[in-house]
Chain A
Amino acid sequence: MLFSSIPFLFYFFPIVLICYFAVPRVAKNAVLFLSSLVFYAWGEPRYVLIMLASILVGYIAGILIEKLKGKKSQKVVLGVAIAMCIAALGYFKYVDFFITNFNAVTHLSVPLLRIALPIGISFYSFQIISYLVDVYRGETTAQKNFIKLGAYVALFAQLIAGPIVRYSDIAKQLTDRKHSFEQIFQGIKRFIIGLSKKILIANVLGELVDVFRKTSEPTVGFYWIYAVAFSLHLYFDFSGYSDMAIGIGRIFGFDFPENFNYPFISGSITEFWRRWHMSLGSWFRDYVYIPLGGNRVNKIKWIRNILVVWMLTGFWHGAEWTFIIWGLLFALLLMIEKTPFGGFLKKCKPVAHIYVTMIILLSFVLFNSGGVSQMVGDFKGLFGAAGIAGWNAQTGYYLRSYAIVILIAAIGATPLPTKLITMLQSKMLGTDKATIAVWSILEIVFVLGLLIICTAFLVDGSFNPFLYFRF
């Protein structure tokens, strides 16, 4: 079920809200767990069993790891449990990739399994692994209550597209969390902002991307419009989803970690990755990069560590060579930025921003190319080597038609709107009671206005795929 869908917004969510706030505190996690299972089963009725099995593995392994503290068998249990999580992920997500490449190398024809990818498996597998490692490291205690662990892993707010919430981040809140009207309204606002980012910006830009992909008359200009539109589309799609997840979490009394921090204003690729999909970046840092030795090793091993982490980051996004190339491209850039070039970027900000913008655009074109041949075609198109015109009437039409949305998206991807609202708010809230009341009413109008416009877009349109579902 999509957050940005009528069944979620006007059927599932209201029912869950009523049940959640109607039951006593002790039953709230059970409501969240059961509703999350329904949420998951709505899209994947059969795969709910796989998720339940994964939670059960995490539950039993967590308790065993804690019990076996100090014994050699503790590591074995951890290893087996992680292997089971990765095996499930590998089987469902990567088996056809490996078969395809095996066939290519051996010239055999092992048939593909064509297994549908269980939604959210990349996210909940990583959450279970982080939980188990944290218990092993003694950074958190094992959860003895299956419902609570289930609510953590399966919580519908972040189940299918993150952010990747560490167990230690919300362990306390699973047992004892507070609900306040202020927190609930903050959650509602955050959810509506995320919903608007998804429906009003990402989906509209997605239409442009779709038009580009279907056109029989691409031009060099249209390739660049596509690169800009897709980059913004991806950002608003994914960050919008994270906003919705954080907002829902807040309504239910949870504080989920932030996942985006205006990545497009970065002055380097290193900074970009500190601002983009932060929960994934920190997961790989804490559970892969640091265990491999991080940067406290010799240069060769450090290069290996960087390459491994970024290859895995790329591979996590999809079972295609283009994703691996995408990850390795960032590894290369991050290493280059450790040279004096990084210092140059810090000194020369305009050049740094041009550099980062170009890299982002090109990397997302690579990210969205369905395979190596399309990737080559896309880059040829971008740089005028595909034998196509530079510009035509169709390109002009779509640029004029989408210019305002692209502009809104470009400004919205910077902290400018938030700064303006904060400035206005601080000025108004420092004044008399009447002004505060006006501000409160404006907030209600803002929230309801966006809800109505988003609903209108949903009712009218059918273009509504969530990009991060496939990961």
Chain B
Amino acid sequence: MKSKIQVIFVTAVFLALAVWAWFKPADDISDSELRKLAQFPEVKAEKIFNGQFMSEFETYALDQFPMRDEFRTVKAVVYLYAFRQLDNNGIYVENGYAAKMEYPLDEEAESYAFGRIQNVYNKFIADSNANCYIAIIPDKNYFLAKEHGALSLDYDRIFNDVKKEASFAQYVDITGLLSIEDYYRTDTHWDQSCITDVAEYLAQSMGTELEGTNTVKTIDAPFYGVYYGQAALPMKPDTVNYVTNDAIEAAQVFDWQNSKPIPVYDEAKIYERSPYDLFLGGSLSMITIDNPLATTDKELVVFRDSFGSSLVPLMISGYKKITVLDIRYLPGDRIGSFVEFDNQDVLFLYSTAVLNNGKTLK
């Protein structure tokens, strides 16, 4: 009798979960992972005989499993708290901040990144009167690794490599202005409202003064950053703040990738899959920002990754025109077709994570 009840109960739960998996409508997107989910594979004799159908079905079954995110949270909790693992899928949480364990240093990738930057300089900037600057943004591991006991890059070595490999540019050290509180808890990026001092310091290093009074606005919507999904841990969402001033309000931004004007901040993006895209439209290969209120003729060209999207608006008040280029999407060899270098300030602004994955640069 005892075993009968046990078998019936366990089998019922097991079969219920199985039947749910069979009949659950397929989701298109994983919001927590920001990726498309596999759909039921096409049934074709050829695909069955070469095993492709089975392989695709396995991916589909994993991607579409009922309560997938909740199961991933169960795994993360068991992994981190029962097994006392120091990271889950390379992500760890320290003092409420989720960070990716960026390790080890990929020397080849770093060298490649320097090669691409040098290539842009040699081809288009070296013979101009432009003034070059370079600043490196440390990833969150820089601040948290020691306390957590996580492995981390040799940051001193990276900063020294930058000085050596990009000696054509003046190195601007911004690390002293940053702390972990300047970053979102659930995301890789920094919080724009916390980096006005960084913008001022960069402007000052380039001989420019930022004008106007900044106002911080808060978006009333939860922001679940990229690490929220990857860590799969129960974490509170962040709040997104953005900084505005007269110059930012008046700025005219043009997206050359899609040939259309865009706003500096697009609040609607916070509800989309990449909320950080609210800053300058997100990952765009080339945009220009004109400042009609400018009291100077100075121009700035910024080579940047996603961190630059939130920093660049803070620089608007100091320049008449800013050109923002992302050579992860726009091949460095084609820059000359879009920008003529002549007496501008040129800022290379990259995060350590991008340098360590430098092969993303074109």
Q: Which A residues are within 8 Å of any B CB, using their own CB?
A: 1, 5-7, 9-11, 14, 17-18, 42-46, 180-182, 184-185, 188, 200, 204, 216-217, 393-394, 397, 400-405, 408, 436-437, 440, 443-444, 447-448, 451-453, 455-462
Contacts and interface: CB of A to CB of B under 8 A. Distances in A.
Given A401-B84, A408-B83, 14 more contacts: A11-B22, A18-B15, A185-B6, A188-B10, A393-B151, A397-B86, A404-B82, A404-B83, A405-B83, A437-B2, A456-B72, A457-B75, A460-B72, A460-B75
Contacts of A217: 104
Nearest to A454: B75
Contacts of B54: 1, 7, 42-43
Contact of B74 (A42, A185, A453): A453
Given A184-B3, A453-B78, A459 B151 contact: no
Given A6-B58, A14-B15, A401-B87, A455 B10 contact: no
Interface of B is mostly: helix
Contacts of A447: 10
A5 B59 CA distance: 10
A181 B57 contact: no
B271 interface: no
B2 A452 contact: no
Contact of B58 (A7, A402, A451, A452): A7
Nearest to A15: B18
A91 B62 CA distance: 36
A188 B62 contact: no
Q: Is the interface of A mostly helix, strand, loop or mixed?
A: helix
B3 A11 contact: no
B10 A444 contact: yes
Given A6-B58, A6-B62, A14 B18 contact: yes
Contact of B61 (A6, A43, A393): A6
B57 A460 contact: no
Contacts of A6: 21, 58, 61-62, 65
B79 to A, nearest CB: 8
Nearest to A440: B2
B18 A11 contact: yes
B85 interface: yes
B78 A7 contact: no
A397 B58 contact: no
Contacts of A462: 62
Q: With a 10 A CB-CB cut-off, give which of B17, B62, B75 has the most chain A CB atoms.
A: B75
A451 to B, nearest CB: 7
Contacts of A393: 151
B13 interface: yes
Interface string B43-62: 00000111100100110011
B61 A10 contact: yes
B150 interface: yes
A42 B49 CA distance: 9
Contacts of B75: 453, 456-457, 459-461
Contacts of B73: 456
Contacts of A460: 71-72, 75-76, 89, 232
A204 B75 CA distance: 12
Contacts of A200: 78
Contact of B13 (A1, A43, A184, A448): A448
Interface string B1-42: 011111101110111011101100000000000000000000
21 contacts: A5-B58, A6-B62, A7-B57, A10-B21, A181-B3, A181-B7, A184-B3, A188-B11, A200-B78, A204-B83, A401-B84, A401-B87, A404-B84, A404-B85, A405-B85, A444-B6, A456-B74, A457-B75, A459-B72, A460-B72, A460-B76
Contacts of A443: 6
B96 interface: no
Given A185-B3, A393-B151, A11 B62 contact: no
B57 A459 contact: no
Contact of A440 (B5, B50, B74, B78): B5
A394 B151 contact: yes
B207 interface: no
In the A-B complex, list the 6 residue pairs whose CB atoms are closest, starting with the nearest: A456-B74, A456-B75, A181-B3, A460-B75, A14-B18, A182-B3
A397 B6 contact: no
B81 to A, nearest CB: 10
A223 B86 CA distance: 20
B123 interface: no
Nearest to A436: B2
Given A181-B7, A185-B3, A45 B49 contact: yes
Contacts of A184: 3, 7
Nearest to A5: B58
Contacts of B21: 6, 10-11
